[in-house]
Amino acid sequence: MNYDFDWSSIPGALPFLWDGMKISLEITVTAVIFGIVWGTLLAMLRLSPVKPLAWFAAGYVNLFRSIPLVMVLLWFFLIVPQLLRSFFNLDPNTDVRLTSAMIGFALFESAYYSEIIRAGIQSVPKGQVAAASALGMSYSQAMRLVVLPQAFRNMVPLLLTQAIVLFQDTSLVYMSALADFFGAAYKVGDRDGRLVELLLFAGAVYFVLCFTLSQVVRRLQKRMATV
């Protein structure tokens, strides 16, 4: 069966698609920032000699790394709105889907960032901590001023790669009827009867963005390897 492609609905849909892209980028940036901050703390807790702290961090990381992201998003889509409305006395009609998605992504991604950061910390020679101690630094000062700066330098390519994966995964918020980029493309295609064209266009945009960013990361890796 032949299919007659008609791309005429795409130009008119661009403003709506751009609004969806802004939501996808907003979720990505929020989850990356929170994920790195919380992931760094989790990594340090997991390397802590205090066993309860290390057990907590290990349990958190293993829990979120063992559960599908779509299931986590579904949980937060069902639970977080109720909690937010109860704690902040919000109107039942208040749309908190975006906030729920941000929280779900941030907590989920922090587990993956934690493992990247833990590996980065362990890649720094232990003699660096000993040298910092000899200079009179405390353990926390040594980590903050000596170890973490070197670790993050080593981790930059991996952190950026995880951010690209996160951007791709934002399409999963479609299940909560949130109009991210993919959701916007689906809605426009379904409305205009041109679902195939809009989804192909959305896939092409994802490919161009992610492939371009992956090439940037690859060049960064090569440049860092020669420094």
Q: Reply yes or no on whether the pLDDT at 181 is more than 80.
A: yes
Say how far apart CA 93 and CA 139 lie, in whole Å.
Answer: 49
- Does a structural domain hold residue 4? no
- Does a structural domain hold residue 66? yes
Q: What is the pLDDT of residue 55?
A: 95
Count: domains in the chain: 1
- H helix or E strand, kind and range, residue 96: none
- The string of DSSP codes covering 143-164 is IIIIIHHHHHHHHHHHHHHHHH
Calculate the CA 32 to chain-centre distance. Answer: 5
Question: Does residue 216 or residue 143 have the better pLDDT?
Answer: 216
Say how far apart CA 176 and CA 221 lie, in whole Å.
Answer: 37
| Contact criterion met (CB below 8 Å) for 169 and 210 | no
- H helix or E strand, kind and range, residue 222: helix 195-226
Residue pLDDT, tens place only, 37-76: 999 999 989 988 889 999 999 999 999 999 999 888 888 8
Say how far apart CA 108 and CA 102 lie, in whole Å.
Answer: 10
- Does a structural domain hold residue 28? yes
- Does a structural domain hold residue 39? yes
| Contact criterion met (CB below 8 Å) for 128 and 150 | yes
- Does a structural domain hold residue 3? no
Query: What one-letter code names the amino acid at 186?
Result: Y
In Å, how far are 180, 216, 226 from 104, measured between CA atoms?
A: 15, 28, 38
Geometric angle at alpha carbon 227, from 136 and 149, rounded to 5°: 35
Q: What is the pLDDT of residue 88?
A: 67
- Does a structural domain hold residue 192? yes
- Does a structural domain hold residue 198? yes
Tell me the CATH number at 157: 1.10.3720.10
Structural domain span for residue 94: 11-226
- Does a structural domain hold residue 5? no
Residue pLDDT, tens place only, 71-114: 888 888 877 777 767 776 766 666 677 888 888 899 999 999 99
